[in-house]
Amino acid sequence: MPSRSAPEPTERPLSQPSSQPLSVPSSVPLSVLHARVNQWYADEGRKHLPWREAGCSPWGVFLSEVMSQQTPLARVEPIWREWMARWPTPGDLAAAAPGEAVRAWGRLGYPRRALRLHEAATVMVERHDGHVPSTPEELLALPGVGAYTAAAVSCFAFGIPEVVVDTNVRRVLARTIEGKAFPNLTLNRAETRLAADSMPADLDDANTWNVAVMELGALVCVARGPRCEECPVADLCAWNLAGRPAYDGPPRRGQTWHGTDRQVRGELLHRLREAHAAVPLALLEDVADDRTQVMRCLDSLVADGLVEPLTRSRFRLPA
């Protein structure tokens, strides 16, 4: 079987063309920023998380990145451990029924990710000898994998320091470098370039920076109630030095849950997971007061491939 080890990178990918000026203000001492944030991570980061341990397989890293999208890591860890015990390789998951992936997903939310993971595992078996591919281009070709996941897996699983940009990274850079309380509502090209320009040139430092700046945003430079007194770069942070000016951009509305279609879909899937068999429609209709909403949500689950309709108005997870 051919080796699936990552190619040895000779320079940082996505480096900025020399013909364009850097987007980081010259007043920001990047070398100091890198050193302090990376050292903070060495001292304070959650290195106990299983997918951050040295022996974690690329498949384990891949699972963690998909599972942790818009989901707190405390909720991810027990499900991740269950999946790794049950399906320690892509081939193990690909051999299972798609419905088993949906069942094992539990209450992580956004259950289509479970189906995409099963589809991605199947592609890994068919095209990559049952291994997680290492390059962003190959990763992007997998079902359900976007730019963030491709960059994160390349970096954290294979040591290829692609530019990894999530909400936490964007918030840290917006505050520290741009002096803004929050980044834009959606990632844009300017923010992507800022993240690239902010990367250390050294490969090892860049790999550490990717996880360290993300962790700083998750634990200290949080969206609400940032703990600036604990921040290793508070004295460098443009937003902090400016007196933490209030956000003046478009409204940032939090997501609602109770009574939404997301809640109803979740309850429908919960009943189907618990049943371990086909469930009559009559036992699903009361998950919400509005039967029209229930049927709409059930139809959407069928359309998404998360639920399989059977004869005599029965439903089950996909076989």
Which token pair is 319? 């076989």
Contact 26, 20 (CB under 8 A): no
Contact 65, 149 (CB under 8 A): yes
The residue from 53, 65, 77, 137 that is catalytic is: 65
Contact 86, 104 (CB under 8 A): yes
Contact 177, 238 (CB under 8 A): yes
Distance (Å, rounded) from C-alpha 204 to C-alpha 153? 15
Which token pair is 42? 């060495």
**Known catalytic residue at 162:** no
87-90-92-93 Cα dihedral, nearest 10 degrees: 70
Q: Which helix (H) or strand (E) holds 91?
A: helix 90-94
Q: Which residues are catalytic?
A: 65
